[in-house]
Structure 1
Amino acid sequence: MTERQMQIGEVAERTGLSLRTIRHDEQVGLAAPSARSKGGFRLYTEAHTERLTAIGRMKPLGFFLEETRELLDITDKLKATDTTGKERESLRERLESYRRVVDARCETLRARLETAEDFASALCRPFPTGS
């Protein structure tokens, strides 16, 4: 049984990413399609959709291209069955380091959101009338 393949429009809808973003991620080597149709359309599998979703989740956290690439490489290698015990331990340590960075960046985003919500709330308060 062959794995179901989706065109870029369906992948965009499922991931919440724009067609432009998906094409850009392909261009910079983060997520290439698994194949192309006879008509030249990009085709993606479920695994590609999951990878693009992960990339999309990293973007608001401000990861640079090389950080995104390294984090994807770490997770790919951890999923691989031929990764040795010593290499696996090193990968887990690197992943933990990224987890700490993600936690810190999430905390920063929460603080920024709180500031934005305070501002929005202030705009809802009545302003004194001048007279």
Structure 2
Amino acid sequence: MDGRHMQIGEVAERTELSLRTIRHYEDTGLVTPSARSQGGFRLYTEADIARLMVIRRMKPLGFTLEEMRDLLDTADRLDTPGTPTAEHEALRERLRAYERTAAKKIEDLHIQLARAEDFAATLRNRLEQHTRP
């Protein structure tokens, strides 16, 4: 990580999130700009972008803001040096639970996608049956 600060527009472009969405995540406490410019503009680092990318990846899987907050807190605490062994193992188990939940949600999405593709194929077949010469 290079320690360089970026304004919200660059962060939005890199994360493919809107300015409004980034501000919303700030308002809900999921991400905090690392600094502010002299003019009061939000300034973000690569670590902030990585945090936003975690949020962006959780959103389509239907995780709630509270679950996102908990996962980010868990990851932050796991990265803290000197965490007692028992707490470290509890945090790892919490992370494992999120991984299992994500895998299940992905499996459910695969099923939904297969059904949607089957539906589209059914419609194509109907159209082909009713093509006039």
Q: TM-score, normalised by structure 2?
A: 0.90
- Spell out the pairing of 1:1-80 with structure 2 (5 A cutoff): 3-80=3-80
Letter in 2 for 1:68: M
After superposition, the CA RMSD in angstroms is: 1.5
1:27-71 CA distance string (max 9 Å, x none): 000001011111221100000000000000000111111111111
Percent sequence identity over aligned pairs: 58
- 3-state DSSP class of the match of 2:39? coil
The alignment's TM-score, normalised by the length of structure 1, stands at: 0.91
Gaps of 5+ in 2: none
The 4+ residue runs of structure 1 with deviation greater than 4 A are none
Displacement after TM superposition at 1:118 (Å): 2.0
Gaps of 5+ in 1: none
The corresponding residue for 2:130 is 128
Question: Which residue number corresponds to residue 86 of structure 1?
Answer: 86
Supply the AA of the counterpart residue of 1:128: H
